[in-house]
Structure 1
């Protein structure tokens, strides 16, 4: 189902405002000691809201897009499950309680988070001047690694997850790059119609959000 251009533009402006406002409110809430516990409880719902915004503003919602979402969710959850239970992918880590309901020690919302990251990065590069796919995909994977490097210290501090010995192995970043390559390739293979700036705004907002929290 393709949405009319004028309606899509109106939704895009509203979605961008929502993304910015919710990240700003979340940043303020997590930066204040007395409000932090409450805002940490909202993290899974925040991710769900961001997912709904991306899905609702996607230019052409059809079976292909639904399959893309399902595939990224399942693969994202699967690699996290393997990582937690075998320590063979990212390293030795366990999830805390902030990300909500878990299935076999892995938060269900983590599949949604992988969708947010892959879709947003794919859209950002789709709008860039980088034309060759063989360049876009590695650049996108590198962006994901950089974002993870920013997220890691904040995630540990706020009990998203914890690393054994408080040490993040280099294999974590190597595997983020490899998985990013694979999943962003799927985004490219899906050949979605060029999307609005909503995904790109979400990705930039996440960078700013976690960079700001590094100092707290």
Structure 2
């Protein structure tokens, strides 16, 4: 990370960054709901990258453990998805469309960023809301939140052809797979980091949930 990026969280207050992110996600909801939705949905990779970068910028503490953890989450998420798309194991029979950008082994490169973003932000939420739990239990709650958010994501992602399932409904194996893949890296988060106070990460988690919930309610 460059010195300017590593000190962003110190030089800026979180409030204007949260406002900026809120406007980005709100623009996404409005843009997708309008006839020009194709242009907006294809900005998904940029939104994920911006969200992860800003959340990391406001992480308190040393940078190296954070980079190591985010890198691990990327690799775990991408490899799990690549295995899933190639074999049908872990999640079920599904294929990705072209919305999420360039692919490797039939898997969008950006999907690892999505895993890293969700794992980091949702486990920050767990530490904030449930500080008294043991580390393994916190990790379990973090993995459960991953599954809960995926339940919100699936209808929107399918409708906009981010990915398609070989079955008429999303199989239960998808949610079981999400939990099992998320659990060890969620537990690891709470061994690496304690008492993380990152309002931007919490805001991203809430904005993502609100984004997909709004699109589901609007039916778009």
Q: TM-score, normalised by structure 2?
A: 0.90
Q: Structure 1 residue 113 and structure 2 residue 128: aligned? A: no
Aligned to 1:82: 83
Report the RMSD for the aligned CA atoms in angstroms.
1.9
Give the CA deviation at 1:115.
Answer: 0.6
CA displacement 1:164-210 (0-9 Å, x = unmatched): 03321101111111122112112112125522211111111111110
CA contact (8 A) 1:117 1:144 kept: yes
> Residue 28 and residue 61 in structure 1: after superposition, are their counterparts in 2 closer, same or farther (change >3 A)?
farther
User: Which runs of structure 2 are paired with 1:57-68 in the superposition (5 Å)?
Assistant: 57-68=58-69
User: Which runs of structure 2 are paired with 1:1-216 in the superposition (5 Å)?
Assistant: 7=10, 10-33=12-35, 35-132=36-133, 133-192=135-194, 194-214=196-216, 215-216=219-220
| Count of equivalent residues | 213
CA contact (8 A) 2:55 2:198 kept: no
Local SS of the residue matching 1:165: coil
Following the alignment from structure 1 to structure 2, what is the Cα–Cα distance between the partners of residues 112 and 155?
16
Q: TM-score, normalised by structure 1?
A: 0.92
Give the CA deviation at 1:60.
Answer: 2.4
> Residue 47 and residue 60 in structure 1: after superposition, are their counterparts in 2 closer, same or farther (change >3 A)?
same
Superposition misfits of 4+ residues, deviation over 2 angstroms: 1-5
Structure 2: state its 5+ residue gaps.
Answer: none
Following the alignment from structure 1 to structure 2, what is the Cα–Cα distance between the partners of residues 157 and 172?
17
Following the alignment from structure 2 to structure 1, what is the Cα–Cα distance between the partners of residues 214 and 155?
12
Following the alignment from structure 2 to structure 1, what is the Cα–Cα distance between the partners of residues 81 and 28?
25
CA contact (8 A) 1:150 1:211 kept: yes
CA displacement 1:125-181 (0-9 Å, x = unmatched): 111134122332222211111110111011000011000033211011111111221
